[in-house]
Amino acid sequence: MIDFQNASFVKLKPTDCSAFSALISPIFVEGEETIATFQGMRDGVVFTNKRIISINVQGITGKKKDITSLPYSKIQAFSIETAGVLDLDSELELWFSGLGKVKFEFVARADVAHLARIISAYMFN
């Protein structure tokens, strides 16, 4: 599960949208589609047109997985920090109603501006 107390997540890199599809497609609602997928060491985050899905792979074998659904409609505010010259990582911070802050850290090549557009488009639906 995302560490909601420390509000951070492992550095994520863009990956193929099919990386977690077998795991999360059974929980999709009608009309839900994957927009962007990011993966850390074993964990991942999937942005759909309905929500953000966090996948936490647990244990030595990785057979146990925790899936957290974060609906865009519960986002109250967000901020992005783009990569710089010396600081090559970018960040996305989200404040959820009743939950608090969730922070995702991305490698330099992640397009956080695109994520901001996705969130802006869907958080008011």
Single-letter residue type at 5:
Q
- Model confidence over 11-32: pLDDT tens digits? 889 999 998 999 999 999 999 9
Residue 6 CB coordination number (10 Å): 9
pTM comes to 0.86
Q: Which fold has domain 13-122?
A: PH-domain like (2.30.29)
Ramachandran bin of 11, using left for φ above 0, alpha for ψ from -120 to 50, beta for the remaining angles: beta
The ranges assigned to domains in the chain are 13-122
Tokens of 7: 């509000």
- Model confidence over 63-80: pLDDT tens digits? 888 899 999 999 999 999
Predicted pLDDT at 1: 41
